[in-house]
Amino acid sequence: MRSVTPVLAAAGLAVLTACGGSDAETSTAAPTTNTAAATTATTTADPGTSTAAAASGGGEVTAQAAARPRTIATGLNTPWSIAFLPSGDALVSERGGVIKRVAAKTRRVTTEMRVPGVVEQGESGLLGLAVSPTYAKDRMVYAYLTTARDNRIVRFRLRGKPRVVVSGLEKAPIHDGGRIAFGPDGKLYAGVGDAGNTDLAQDQDSQNGKILRMNPSGSVPKDNPFPGSRVFSLGHRNVQGLAFDAKGRLWASEFGQSTRDEVNLVEKGKNYGWPTVEGRGDTQGGKFTNPLVTWATSEASPSGVAIVGTHLYVAALGGERLWDVPLRGAKTGRPKALLQGRYGRIRAATAAPDGSLWIATSNRDGRGDVRSGDDRILRLAVKR
């Protein structure tokens, strides 16, 4: 299987910050009782190398792309998510509550709307966006956001009044999760952080520290693993990336606390171990499921993920790079680092309708080094 190679592209996208152990958005939670430090070795790397965990087959760095991605948009204010409409236009959420539209043909950026009731504090605010799979009929856009009282998911027609899909998710200045995505089954999936309260991740009655699965209305699907509950998987710290592959498998990125960040293959009803396990560790006889890829938190702090062909791309905030993880069915190949240090913090990675990859920087979130034109959207053409 060939690795994806960046080639000259003609567009661009902007990314937002996320929370990771050695990144500035780190948790103050108590240390885990069993971390990956006992099972994986982290080597010291110079700026040109990667140290993906031995459990994932190690890591290696590709040669930096000779051609730079093309810039689509500049001057964005802490963008968090990118979602494409059927027309090819892109919607971009800014954490302060604004949705921008990037025109498919002209790349002109306009303000589409301000979502009412958004409260931005720390990592919280207007986060994930998802376009209804039946948008041609219902014209619905979904958003994960923070209000004065909670985190919630709402839906609305563009420039219309939001209606609540799910409310009452605990909010905090850290670990708000926020990524949402529709699966091939037509259900809406949401990564919900533990809001800095590690006990919630193992509490099956709480929706925090979970990946949720729901009908578009917010109701509970009959085939969910726990009757009457939106919980699809548990034991998560702060999931900020969700993507489905061609076989319908769900892949998720997750922030570690101080040792290992993760990529998990998420399966119905499984427990991914937080806060007992960070990275790879003792599964306690199969109670917990280990990640397929781990990195030192300084190399990743992973947020958005996207799948193009047979490659999973992971946006890295603290690591200031884009990780390319080959997918081999339900297994992974050797991760490779792209664009290391070239654009700063990367928050979002989204597969575009034309087969390219859009990424977004997150240097204006208070934790990055702001460069002229930040934050920006970039388009990266990749081999499939």
Comparing CA positions, the residue from 18, 51, 23, 36 lying closest to residue 346 is 18
pLDDT of residue 118: 98
- Whether the Cβ atoms of residue 50 and residue 58 lie closer than 8 Å to each other: no
The Cα 255–Cα 66 span in angstroms is 30
Residues 193-244: pLDDT tens digits? 999 999 999 999 999 999 999 999 999 999 999 999 999 999 999 999 999 9
Architecture in CATH for domain 6-382? 6 Propeller (2.120)
pLDDT of residue 68: 78
Name residues of the chain where pLDDT drops below 50: 1-24, 26-67
Residues 300-337: pLDDT tens digits? 999 999 999 999 999 999 999 999 999 999 999 999 99
DSSP annotation string for 32-80: PSEEGGGT-------TT-----GGGT--EEPPPPSSPPEEEE---SSEE
pLDDT of residue 383: 64
Domain-wise residue ranges, the chain: 6-382
pLDDT of residue 24: 40
* Side chain identity, residue 326: P
* Side chain identity, residue 104: A
Distances (CA, A) of 356 to 106, 247, 370, 371: 17, 20, 26, 24
pLDDT of residue 139: 98
Side-chain-side CA neighbours of 206 within 13 Å: the count stands at: 20
